[in-house]
Structure 1
Amino acid sequence: MITNDILANALLAADTAEGKKGERVVVLDMRDVTLIADYFVIVSATNVIQVQTIADAVDEALQARGLERINQVGRARAHWVLLDYGGLVVHVFTEEERQYYNLERLWGDAVVVDRAALKAGRQ
């Protein structure tokens, strides 16, 4: 899969999360920072039920696009659900967990994708 497809999938994941009332949705370009993934999508939810709802919706949207999930972690506890699609990793947190792990600081060298500019460019 080429990087543009991975970015398109990351944007779909972000939009899907927002559609389920996900908050502070961020897409990080990880290509120059790590080999773990090309993109991270980070989302906050107000409670564990919403974490599960967002994770399910994102997974359904990406699988409908033909993406196979490699791994899923944290579903049982649902304070932080990680969905791994290889080049794309989606993190859905309760706000408390997001603040505690602070992935944006941990991966501070990653570029934040300007989703609004990309959307404007598509129209």
Structure 2
Amino acid sequence: MILDNFVKMAVTAAADKNAEEIVILDVREVCSFTSTLVICQGRSGRQVQTITTAIRDTLRENGCRPHHVEGERRGEWVLMDYLDFVIHIFMEDRRKFYALEHLWGDAPRLAWTPPRPKARDGSGIAGAGTGS
């Protein structure tokens, strides 16, 4: 399965806000309500909310709005339903408790490589400073 552009945008937005343990599952063969699950976590409720906002804003700017969002106020487990894909953003303890990766264990994991960090010196290459 080739990753949907909206899924790539969502995962990149999450990574930009330091989401941890990002997993993408192709659930087409084992699930009737969506094609792709994205699961990630934040270290605090505030970070979970920040990741949620970044994903929502990025996708909205590109014409994609969620069908439904749950749990944003508490920030322990946010579910963002975009119909073709569903995003779960957890606090670490909630993620371990619900263990969605194990629940959907038969689903293949999709490869995703985070973008390289942007250079701080404007060169386009991370760590390519002048050294002086």
**Structures share a fold, TM > 0.5?**
yes
- Asked if 1:58 is matched to 2:88, the reply is no
- Asked if 1:71 is matched to 2:68, the reply is yes
Q: CA deviation at 1:43?
A: 0.7
Structure 1 equivalent of residue 107 of structure 2 = 110
Runs of 4+ in 1 over 4 A off after TM superposition: none
- Asked if 1:14 is matched to 2:25, the reply is no
Report the RMSD for the aligned CA atoms in angstroms. 1.5
Unaligned runs of 5+ in 1: none
* Separation of aligned partners in 1, 2:45 and 2:23: 19
* Separation of aligned partners in 1, 2:102 and 2:51: 23
* Separation of aligned partners in 2, 1:83 and 1:11: 15
- 5 Å matches for 1:74-93? 74-93=71-90
Q: CA deviation at 1:10?
A: 1.2
Aligned AA (1:37): T
TM-score calculated relative to the size of structure 1 = 0.87
Aligned AA (2:55): V
Structure 2 equivalent of residue 26 of structure 1 = 23
Q: CA deviation at 1:60?
A: 0.7
1:60-103 CA-to-partner distances (Å, cap 9, x unmatched) read 11111111211000112110000111101110000010000010
Unaligned runs of 5+ in 2: 116-132
Determine which structure has more spread, i.e. the larger CA radius of gyration. Answer: 2
Identity level (%):
34
TM-score calculated relative to the size of structure 2 = 0.81
